[in-house]
Structure 1
């Protein structure tokens, strides 16, 4: 399984961008996404950007990744806090499966 993670663009060169996550920097191949600029968020898999993200979506993905770490550590309270918008919500079927 491959997990993508959000990185924020710091600097742009032709076909690649220097991106940052927390305190780590990495050059990312940007040939599969539209032109980006410093401040943009990219969803990165194996060193290549696959999608541009809104800041809100980048935050959601980062929360999901933090929840994976919390689950691995058995920290159920942290999981509930990271997915607070889902805790009291009833599951919904997609429209095509609803009667």
Structure 2
């Protein structure tokens, strides 16, 4: 007796299927991270380089992680479809 074991069909990650969306999400996260620096830039032009870079990277990393949550992605796909990991209606091949 042989048991039929279907070969799994590999799924393509959304970052590969929709690379411009991954770029848009990363740029969005970077802009949000950069916005946190505006008060300090306005207050003092002599901001240290290392703390500035660390702050931008920390906030960008946090935003990127939040954007990767399935519930957040579902919300984005519904209300901000250009930021969703995949289009709400897949385009025809």
Calculate the TM-score normalised by the size of structure 1: 0.26
Q: Could you say which structure has the larger radius of gyration?
A: 2
More strand by share: 1
Relative contact order (C-alpha < 8 Å, sep 6+): which is higher? Answer: 2
More helix by share: 2
